[in-house]
């Protein structure tokens, strides 16, 4: 059989070098008829093995009959019904070809997103140990948000998955976006909401947050991860493309490296979109809603009476406070980075947020002031009662005996 190389060379000699057929025959040592056939065909020669019959051909009418009655009948059941004693593989291959002719059409609808319509959200727990301080390591949650239309990914690590930190993380990422989608998509995260009596219900904290933003929140049904497949795939992308080969010195280092990597990731070609996410981001953001002009109350907020040991507890950690506020009510406010304690308008404590657990964070100035106050209280003289103070009348104990019937009455 003539090879593709011979066919191409024959056509070149005839068209480029203007060689006659006889000369080509002498040059290549090929028969004259072979040269004529090569010049007559416009496509390269291709070897085709003649089709041979299959053992399934004899039973195909019976297979079609069974599929006509039950299009979903498994190939193993068909083999049993027709008494098939040969290889099951060739029968399965033929059934796979014939079955679509008997099944009703079932096309899949492609999910599309309008610009600015939805942002899918989820928590990703990276399988890596992050140093948290005080010799502790852990895997804090990462809030991941993916815009539906542009597929832009936004993410950052949070101290915890509790509502104050989760809402503060939302606000931080929305600040990077510069706008907010008309609807957020969430699963049944405890800090967001859950399904009760067959209907979704948001927590009070998240209900208030979405009310400030003026948006909707779509809660997916339980055990339905496909409903937010964009962010689920983004979690897998982070795990396979961001984490490998990286080391982190702490949460801040993790967030810094993640922010730099997301710039590259959002600039890469997206196979499903056919372009880069960053190329669709302007249209996506332009269709979103503007952020409210005043930021909502974020983070942890509580009001407590400062005990004598002048520490306040946030999560599982204790933070020192200026002992001048002992016995008085103080306001504790904590965001993702700092813990601030106020006595009225006066700031009486400020600390960096500790990501480790069961720690005591003490400011040197607070300890020094507490020791000085304790020493002064120990050496303070006891004041004698003044003349203006009224003396307390002392009653005879016999009067109480008479009242209780403990004395003999004459």
Task: Kindly state the tokens that stand for 336.
Answer: 């993702």
Supply the pLDDT for residue 225.
79
pLDDT tens across the length of the chain (410 residues) = 678 888 899 999 998 988 999 999 999 888 999 999 889 988 888 877 877 888 999 999 999 999 999 999 999 999 999 999 999 999 999 999 999 999 988 776 667 899 999 999 999 999 999 999 999 999 999 999 999 999 999 999 999 999 999 999 999 999 999 999 999 999 999 999 999 888 999 999 999 999 999 999 999 988 887 889 999 999 999 999 999 999 999 999 999 999 999 999 999 999 989 999 999 999 999 999 999 988 888 899 999 999 999 999 998 999 999 999 999 999 999 999 999 999 999 999 999 999 999 999 999 999 999 999 888 877 766 565 555 555 556 666 676 566 556 555 44
Would you call 140 helix, strand, or coil by DSSP? coil
DSSP assignment of 348-382: EEEEEPP-SSS-EE--HHHHHHHHHHHHHHHTPPP
Query: Are residues 99 and 69 in contact, defined by beta-carbon separation less than 8 angstroms?
Result: no
For residue 182, the Cα-to-chain-centroid distance in whole angstroms is 19
Residue 210's CB is within 10 A of a number of other CB atoms, namely 18
Q: What is the CA radius of gyration of the chain?
A: 40
Where helices occur in 42-193 by DSSP H, the ranges are 60-69, 75-82, 88-98, 163-177
pTM assigned to the model: 0.70
Query: Are residues 230 and 111 in contact, defined by beta-carbon separation less than 8 angstroms?
Result: no
| H or E element, residue 398 | helix 397-403
d(CA 171, CA 163): 12
d(CA 361, CA 285): 42
Query: Are residues 158 and 269 in contact, defined by beta-carbon separation less than 8 angstroms?
Result: no
Query: Are residues 124 and 215 in contact, defined by beta-carbon separation less than 8 angstroms?
Result: no
Supply the pLDDT for residue 379.
75
Tokens 């899918």 sit on residue: 120
């Amino acid at each position: 059989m003539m090879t593709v190389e011979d066919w191409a060379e024959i056509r070149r000699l005839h068209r480029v070098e203007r060689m006659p057929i006889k000369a080509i025959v002498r040059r290549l040592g090929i028969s004259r008829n072979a040269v004529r056939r090569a010049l007559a065909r416009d496509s390269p020669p291709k070897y085709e093995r003649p089709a041979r019959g299959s053992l399934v051909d004899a039973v195909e009418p019976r297979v079609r009959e069974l599929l006509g009655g039950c299009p979903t009948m498994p190939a193993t059941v068909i083999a049993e019904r027709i008494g098939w004693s040969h290889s099951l593989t060739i029968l399965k291959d033929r059934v796979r070809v014939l079955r679509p002719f008997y099944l009703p059409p079932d096309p899949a609808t492609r999910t599309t997103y309008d610009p600015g319509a939805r942002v899918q959200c989820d928590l990703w727990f990276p399988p890596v140990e992050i140093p948290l301080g005080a010799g502790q390591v852990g895997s804090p949650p990462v809030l991941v948000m993916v815009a539906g239309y542009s597929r832009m990914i936004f993410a950052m690590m949070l101290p915890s998955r509790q509502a104050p930190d989760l809402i503060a993380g939302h606000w931080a990422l929305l600040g990077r976006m510069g706008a907010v989608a008309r609807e957020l998509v969430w699963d049944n995260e405890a800090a967001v909401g859950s399904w009760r009596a067959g209907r979704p219900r948001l927590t009070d904290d998240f209900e208030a947050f979405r009310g400030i933003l003026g948006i909707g929140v779509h809660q997916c049904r339980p055990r339905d991860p496909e409903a937010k497949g964009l962010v689920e795939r983004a979690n897998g992308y982070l795990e396979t493309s961001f984490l490998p080969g990286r080391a982190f010195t702490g949460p801040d280092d993790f967030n810094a490296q993640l922010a730099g990597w997301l710039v590259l990731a959002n600039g890469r070609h997206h196979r499903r979109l056919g372009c880069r996410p960053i190329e669709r981001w302007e249209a996506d953001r332009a269709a979103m809603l503007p952020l409210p002009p005043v930021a909502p109350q974020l983070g942890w907020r509580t009001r407590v009476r400062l005990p004598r040991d002048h520490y306040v507890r946030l999560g599982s950690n204790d933070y020192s406070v200026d002992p001048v506020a002992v016995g008085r009510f103080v306001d504790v406010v904590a965001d993702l980075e700092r813990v601030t304690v106020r006595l009225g308008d006066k700031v009486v404590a400020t600390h960096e947020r500790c990501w480790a657990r069961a720690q005591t964070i003490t400011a040197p100035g607070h300890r020094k002031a507490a020791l000085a106050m304790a020493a002064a209280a120990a050496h303070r003289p006891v004041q004698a009662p003044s003349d203006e103070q009224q003396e307390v009348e002392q009653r005879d104990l016999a009067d109480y005996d008479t009242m209780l019937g403990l004395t003999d009455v004459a």
